[in-house]
Amino acid sequence: MSESQNKPWSGVFDGETDPRVEKFTESVSFDHRLTTQDIRGSSAHARMLAKTGVLTDRECQQIVEGLEQIGNQIAEGTFVFRQELEDIHMNIERALIDQIGDVGRKLHTGRSRNDQVSTDFRLWIRDAIDRLDDLLVDLQRAFVSRCRRDADVILPGYTHLQRAQPVLANHYWLAYCEKLERDRTRLSDCRARVNHLPLGTAALAGTTIPIDRQMVADELGFEEVVANSLDSSSDRDFAIEYCFVLTLIAEHLSTWAEEWILWSTCEFNFLTLPQAYCTGSSIMPQKINPDVLELTRGKTARVVGNLQSLLVLVKGLPLAYNRDLQEDKERVFDSAETVEACVTLAAAVVAGAELNREAIAERLERGYLDATTLMEYLIGLGIPQRTAHGIIGNLVALAMKKSVPLAELSLEEFQAASPLLDKKVYDILGVERAIEAFSSYGSTAPTEVAKQVGMWQERLGI
C-alpha cells in the first residue's frame, strides 16, 4: 500500500522500491544546496495560490511559516535528510506535512517538481552569477591596483613565447582587466536568459488550476515568464550557458597561471610569488612551488569537463522532462565552486606578487624588441613595408652575428642597409625609446596606457 512506502508518488505502486534504486536515484546529497531557493520559490508559490483563491490566507500563512522553520532547521544543521525522499524538494515538502499536517499537502498544487527544480536552479545560478561578478571585480581591482607601483616597468612582450615587442607592465595588467570585463558582460547576458520563470509550467503541459505566474515572477525577481511549458520543462540551456561562461573565465585564469608559473621560474625570474600562496616540497628543502597557480590551471580541466558533460547530457533528449536532467546539478555546482575559488585566490596572488624589476631590466635589450619599431621608422621614410622588413631582417642578422643590440650597430652599417637612414635612427632604438614611439589607440604607447589606466581607476573607484 502506497503510504507504507513513504513516497509522494507511491499510489500506483504495489511494492517497495529496491534500496539500491533509492541510492541510485537520490539527489538530496547534492541538491540540498538548493534549500534557500526552494523555500523562496515555494513561499512565493503559496502566496500566489492564496491570491488566486486556491489556498486560504490562513493556509498560506501556515505554509510560509512552516517553510521558514524548516529553512532554519536546515541552516542550523538539525534537519534530518532522508535519502528515500529522493531530493531536497520532497524532503522539505514531507517535513512541512509532518509539521503542519494536511495543509502542507496543498503546497504542490498547480506545480510539478519539473518546474520547481528548474525554478530553484535558476534562482541558484542567478545568485551565483551575482556572487561571481563581485569576485571578478575584486580581481580587476587587484590588477588595476598594481598600476601605480608598476607604471615605470617595461616588460618584453611575447608571441610564440619568443620575444616580440616591448610592452608596459601596466598594459599587461589591463589586458587581463579587459578579458575579465568581457567575462562580466557574458555573465550578465547569461543572467538575462537565466532570469525567466518556469514555475507554473507544471509537469510539461501547464495546469488547469488558476495560477498567476506573473505574480510569482515579480515576487522572485524574474524578468520574464517562460512562454512555453514544453520548452521550459525540457530545457537546461541556461545552465549550460552559465557553465560555458565559467569555462571561459577558467581558461583566462589558466593562461594567466601558466604565464606566472613560467615567470616565477629561475629561468624567467620576472616575479616573486607571495609565499602564502605557494607550498613547499617534502624532500627538497629549497623548493617554493606555485601550487595555487598550477591548481588554477589544473582545475580548468574539470570545468571544461563539466561543460562537456552537460552538452553530452542533453544531446538527444526527447521533450519534455527526462530524469537524465538530474545529472546537471553536480556539474554546475562543481564548476561554480571551482571558479569562485580560483578567482578569489587569483586576486590575492596578483596583489601579493612582486615584479623583479632588476632582473627584467637587465635582459630587456635582448631579443631585438625594437626591430619592428625600426622597420616602421623606415616605412615612415617612404620604404614599402615588405622592403623595410627585409632590410631590418638583414640588420638584425648582422647584430646577432656580432652579439650586440641594434643600437650598437654603426651609422655606416645602417647606411649600408639603407642610405635613407641617418643618425636620427638612434632616437628610436633601445627598448625605452621604442616604447615611446608607439602611438595608436589600444597600443602600449605610454600616453595611451595612462589614459586607459585612468579610465579603469575611475571605473573601479581606485
Please identify, among the stretches 97-105, 111-119, 145-153, 385-393, the one whose residues bind ligand ARG according to the rule CB under 6 A.
Answer: 111-119
Binds ligand ARG (CB under 6 A): choice among 27, 195, 335, 373:
27
Nearest approach in angstroms of CB 28 to ligand ARG is 8
Active-site residue identified among 112, 171, 281, 282: 281
Instruction: Return the ∠ at Cα 342 (arms to 338 and 345), rounded to 5°.
Output: 140
87 touching ligand ARG, by CB under 6 A: yes
| 153/325 with CB nearer ligand ARG | 325
| 205/381 with CB nearer ligand ARG | 205
| 94/113 with CB nearer ligand ARG | 113
| 204/420 with CB nearer ligand ARG | 204
Spatial contact of 157 and 170, defined as CB atoms under 8 Å apart? no
Strand, coil or helix: what is 42? Answer: helix
Q: Beta strand 224-225 with 196-197: parallel, antiparallel or unpaired?
A: parallel
Place of cell 581607476: 457
Within 8 A by CB and 6+ apart from 370, the residues are 166, 405, 406, 407, 428, 429, 430, 431, 433, 434
Nearest approach in angstroms of CB 202 to ligand ARG is 11
Which of the residues 315 through 344 are near ligand ARG (CB under 6 A)? Answer: 321, 323, 325-326
Distance from chain centroid for Cα 242: 9
Binds ligand ARG (CB under 6 A): choice among 7, 113, 191, 299:
113
Q: Locate all alpha helices (DSSP H) within 356-421, ordered by sequence.
A: 357-362, 371-380, 385-402, 411-417
| 180/243 with CB nearer ligand ARG | 243
Distance from chain centroid for Cα 361: 34
Q: Which amino acid is at 270?
A: F
Assigned C-alpha cell, 375? 622597420
Place of cell 646577432: 400
Which of the residues 378 through 437 are near ligand ARG (CB under 6 A)? Answer: none
Spatial contact of 58 and 149, defined as CB atoms under 8 Å apart? no
Say whether 389 is catalytic.
no
Q: Which residues of 149-167 are buried (b: 16+ CB within 10 A; e: fewer)?
A: ebeebbbbbeeeeebbbbb
Nearest approach in angstroms of CB 349 to ligand ARG is 36
Distance separating alpha carbons of residues 252 and 197, to the nearest angstrom = 31
Say whether 232 is catalytic.
no
Nearest to 447 by CA among 177, 180, 170: 170
Assigned C-alpha cell, 131? 556572487
Nearest approach in angstroms of CB 321 to ligand ARG is 6
Distance separating alpha carbons of residues 34 and 47, to the nearest angstrom = 20
Q: Which amino acid is at 34?
A: L
Assigned C-alpha cell, 329? 546539478
Strand, coil or helix: what is 445? Answer: coil
Binding mask 216-255 for ligand ARG (x = CB under 6 A): ----------------------------------------
| 31/365 with CB nearer ligand ARG | 31
Nearest approach in angstroms of CB 58 to ligand ARG is 30
Binds ligand ARG (CB under 6 A): choice among 117, 167, 257, 332:
117
Nearest approach in angstroms of CB 94 to ligand ARG is 14
Nearest approach in angstroms of CB 46 to ligand ARG is 20
| 206/352 with CB nearer ligand ARG | 206
Nearest approach in angstroms of CB 99 to ligand ARG is 22
Active-site residue identified among 32, 160, 254, 389: 160
Residue count, binding to ligand ARG (CB under 6 A): 11
| 118/195 with CB nearer ligand ARG | 118
Per-residue CA distances from 222 to 181, 197, 208 (Å): 24, 6, 23
Spatial contact of 244 and 310, defined as CB atoms under 8 Å apart? no
Distance separating alpha carbons of residues 80 and 381, to the nearest angstrom = 81
Residues of this chain that interact with ligand ARG (CB under 6 A) are 27, 31, 86-87, 113-114, 117, 321, 323, 325-326
| Residues designated as active site | 160, 281
